[in-house]
Each structure stands twice: as structure tokens, then as C-alpha cells.
Amino acid sequence: MAERPLQASRQRRGKAMTAAAGSAGHAAVPLLLCALLVPGGAYVLDDSDGLGREFDGVGAVSGGGATSRLLVNYPEPYRSQILDYLFKPNFGASLHILKVEIGGDGQTTDGTEPSHMHYALDENFFRGYEWWLMKEAKKRNPNIILMGLPWSFPGWIGKGFNWPYVNLQLTAYYIMTWIVGAKHYHDLDIDYIGIWNERSFDINYIKVCTTLKSFYLEVTSK
């Protein structure tokens, strides 16, 4: 006998919601009824259409023109304490991902970050503070995911134009050099590379980067 009032209550709620939803209610009724009929505390997962994207964690960005510039100059022990709160697992923010700007000698919102190549034959992998920040993050969490993303490019890349796709091979070489330098000089493995922050992409440039990546991975692994 107790089941009948409960069933009647569910039917009344279903009709009320259908009426309130109007014509759209007909499509929503099955989902609404499923929600009503599921016992309290239970969660129904329908993966018949496949699962969505995997949650890789919580990340932070050091980029957009010197947004982290002051951190490296903090006195100890405060600087280390801040870094612990950012990157130490199960402590503070416990960041899983760190994305840094690949400095391009250009003003990119709050300031300018230096490039590792001011000109074509120049290579210096100790400019700026992003190398330091990535190493401090890895020191606290060896499993943290590292990403690099250019906000700007040195003028010689676009041959005087603010457009890195003038010479696709040259731009790809410039980016691959940064990746190889991170590994060779700082023992940092870069997991992901972005194309160009909030700008257009060139599919052919991506293909060139993929080709060069295979070559550089083979060279650096020897």
C-alpha cells in the first residue's frame, strides 16, 4: 500500500514538470523521470556513447609578459614557501600542470620576456626565469606536466613582419631549439608545445613542427 502514494507522487511531479516545460518538456521527460526514479545517493553513468575527455589536473600559467617576474626575487624562506604551496603534492594548490611563456623579446601584456635566440645564430638557455621556475616545480613534483607557449617571436623570425608563418621551417626550428635546450641544459622534458597564444594557426606549420620533433627526439635520445 505504501508504494501507491509514492508512485502517484512521482507521476504528479512528472506531469507538472512536463507541463511547465511546454513543448521542450517532451524531450526532457525521460531524463527527468530517470532523476526521479534513481534511489537517493545512487549515481547512474551512461557511457554507451563513450566517455569524455580525461581530467588531467589543475594547472597554472607563467606567461603573458612577466606575470611571475617578481617571484624569483623574493627573499628566503618566503620564496620557497610560496613554491611549496604552488607545486608540492597534497599541499596547497598542488598544481599538476605548469605552462610557461617561450620568451620572444616582445611586450606581451604585462611586460617582456627575453628570447633564447635574439638573432639567428644566438642561443642562450639561461635568460629569464622560466627555466628556474620549471626546475623548482619539477623539484617539488617530478610528475608535473610542463608546457611551453610563445606569446611573441623575435623580429628576425618573421623577417621584419609580426608574422611567424613567413618561414615555417625557421619558426619550427626556433621552437624545437627551445625544447632541446630545456632538455640539454636543464634536464627538463617539455610535454606539450602551444602554437601561438590567442592568434591564428597554420596547419602546415604544425606539420613541419611534427616532422622536426621526430628528428630532434631521435637526436636528443642518443
- For the chain, the domains span 1-51, 59-220
- Reply yes or no on domain 59-220 having CATH 3.20.20.80: yes
Task: Name the pLDDT band for 55 (thresholds 50, 70, 90).
Answer: confident
Report pTM.
0.75
Round to whole Å and give the CA distance between 195 and 179.
13
State the pLDDT at residue 28.
Answer: 47
**Residue written as grid cell 642518443:** 222
Task: Name the pLDDT band for 65 (thresholds 50, 70, 90).
Answer: confident
- Phi/psi class of residue 160: alpha, beta or left (left: φ > 0; alpha: ψ in -120 to 50)? left
Helical residues (DSSP H) of 88-166, grouped into ranges? 130-140
